[in-house]
Amino acid sequence: MTNQEELAKNLSSLQAFIDDLYSKYESLQDGVVANYIPELAKVDPELFAISIVNVNGEIYEVGDYQQLFTIQSISKVFVYGLALMDHGRDYILTRVGVEPTGDAFNAIVLDEQSKRPYNPMVNAGAIATTSLIKGSDATERLNRMLDMFQKYIGRDVFVDISVFTSERTTGHRNRAMAHLMLNFGMIDKPIDEALDLYFQQCAVMVNCHDLAVMAATLANKGVNPITNEQAIKSCYVKDILSVMYTCGMYNFAGEWAYKVGIPAKSGISGGIIAVVPDKMGIAVFSPRLDARGNSVRGVKVCEELSQRFGLHLFECSSFINSQ
């Protein structure tokens, strides 16, 4: 069999496999929808989608992949990239660490020695990261952030005002984190503007297809494989993927790295993105979450994809080598 024939066979089996995964897990009822942000509790728990985009721009998807939802914590990945481009990795490291933590994503805790948030994927680190986005005022910073998302996705995006307002009204733990970091000089005044921008970034509306394109952009060295637009300098992609790999799945990150073995990030609205460097981006959306805040169906889909196609970073596979 020629390389082209092998490639065609693998790509065909990929679509068939995600179709089978969708059918297998569509009836799974485990987990609960996030309810501590009132607007998120209103989502339909039956929604389910799987999307894959490879670095050649080829698309494989099934289910509710056009259904919009708020990006939530997955936004942390991309805002971290914007902060890196604004300030460089050395300065960012003075404000936000890169160490995994066994604490919950919303824990009000800083590193005891450095007083930094542990990493940019937990809420404290994400708030500190967001506070570093450049702009002359709040409007310019918001517009720069939305422009950044547009480059990754390939279309204009908007903030869901009802979710933003809901998060702003109920975000007392996040305010406590911000004040703690202000006390130790990890975040500057005015903290209300930083918090508003953080709540807005979490309320950006995306669908599962968008997330797969965003993940594929990271897989493609920062170039959107659909539009060919450079979303982030390639030199910073390794920083993003490194933190995703070690910290992206909350306090499930170690088991994820062991079982699935690719950089990933989840969000409490039910999204998961995963990046296979130089190959593809994977996205799953299903709102029911496990006790750690990760999509139940999403974790299972990614585990099976990794096992079936040998996607683990430390595993050799004919599928990977043929892409």
Which residues are annotated as part of the binding site?
A: 73, 123, 167, 174, 198, 250
Q: Name the token pair of 228.
A: 């060919």
Question: What three-state secondary structure class fits 220?
Answer: coil
Asked whether 311 and 262 are in contact (CB, 8 A), the reply is yes
Q: What is d(CA 216, CA 270) in angstroms, rounded to the nearest whole number?
A: 19
Binding residues for substrate, by number, are 73, 123, 167, 174, 198, 250
Q: What is d(CA 279, CA 315) in angstroms, rounded to the nearest whole number?
A: 14
Counted residue by residue, the chain has a size of: 323
Chain centroid to CA 149: 12
- Residue 177 neighbours by CB under 8 Å, 6+ apart: 108, 117, 123, 124, 127
Q: Please name the residue that has the structure tokens 């981006």.
A: 281
Q: Catalogue the long-range contacts made by 306-314 (C-beta closer than 8 Å, 24 or more residues apart).
A: 306/259, 306/260, 306/261, 306/262, 308/17, 309/10, 309/14, 309/17, 311/260, 311/261, 311/262, 311/276, 311/279, 312/260, 312/261, 312/262, 313/245, 313/261, 313/262, 313/277, 314/261
Asked whether 279 and 270 are in contact (CB, 8 A), the reply is no
Give me Rg for the CA atoms of the chain. Answer: 19
Q: What is d(CA 129, CA 97) in angstroms, rounded to the nearest whole number?
A: 10
